[in-house]
Amino acid sequence: MSEPGEQLLLTCEHAGNRVPARYARFFRGAAAALRTHRGWDIGALALAKHLSRRLDAPLLHTTVTRLLVDLNRSIGNRRTLFSDFVRKLRDDEKRRILERHYLPHRRGVEAAVARPVARGDRVIHVAVHSFTPTLRGVRRNADVGLLYDPARPGELALARRWRAALREVAPELRVRMNYPYRGTSDGIQTELRRRFDARDYVGVEIEVNQEHLAPDAPSRARVVRAVEASLARLFPSG
């Protein structure tokens, strides 16, 4: 585990593409979409579980598809919280989805941060995600992205150290900062930053190119080992 006074927490918000039985009728004919990056972050859960085992760090995740409700978006996000498959549901049904499939994860993560902070520890929250190699016809030119808030010194320092560690263990990987998304975009970590002081909470999201995380990807084992080895350098066991 990490050194005393510092707790590592892993989460995976887009871990699966499961559709609860109550909403199956809204996803008839959506099997193809559910299998793609639209339905989940391919390979992210396997990576997160590997990191959790090897680093002895707690992992919180959910396997409900982001096409039902996106756990990495705020409740006020009208554009992407609910997908087109369920956006026209009545408000009471949307509230039911939030209560059963959204709030348990969000509240669980907040509690997992609050408990160590109350003891005087600092929490390092690593959210594990993956991204599609090509989006709307544009090829992403990165293997790993590290997302953070540059206005929070602890996050900037951690992201830089992690990038350096990745370059040491796997110099062939293209590692980019705040790519393919901005670290300050709407997500679970942006909300936690509003709730916890920068001295107590450090949130960095890792985004891994899905061409390395697909089950049959030749580079899968190598990239997973590189991420593990680099993170272990930052949080050595014992």
- Record the pTM: 0.96
Which runs of E-coded beta strand occur in 87-232?
A: 122-131, 134-135, 138-139, 144-147, 175-177, 201-209
The answer to whether residue 38 sits within a structural domain is yes
For position 238, what pLDDT does the model report? Answer: 40
The answer to whether residue 26 sits within a structural domain is yes
Give me the mean pLDDT over the 16-27 stretch: 98
The answer to whether residue 184 sits within a structural domain is yes
CATH number at residue 228: 3.40.630.40
Residues 47 and 227 sit within 8 Å (Cβ to Cβ): yes
> pLDDT digit string (tens) for 161-189?
999 999 999 999 999 999 999 999 999 99
Give me the mean pLDDT over the 66-85 stretch: 96
Give me the mean pLDDT over the 195-219 stretch: 97
pLDDT at 27 over 70: yes
The parent domain of residue 213 ranges over 6-234
The closest alpha carbon to 125, from 89, 102, 152, 101, belongs to 152
The closest alpha carbon to 65, from 27, 120, 8, belongs to 27
Which residue is listed with tokens 């990165």?
142
> How many whole angstroms separate alpha carbon 110 and alpha carbon 196?
10
The answer to whether residue 1 sits within a structural domain is no
The answer to whether residue 225 sits within a structural domain is yes
Residues 205 and 129 sit within 8 Å (Cβ to Cβ): yes
The answer to whether residue 229 sits within a structural domain is yes
**Angle of helix 153-169 versus helix 220-234 axis, rounded to 10:** 130
How big is the chain, counted in residues? 238
Confidence band, pLDDT 50/70/90 cuts, at residue 216: very high
For a pLDDT cut of 70, what percent of the chain falls above it?
97
**pLDDT, the chain, mean:** 96
For position 137, what pLDDT does the model report? Answer: 93
Q: How many domains does the chain have?
A: 1
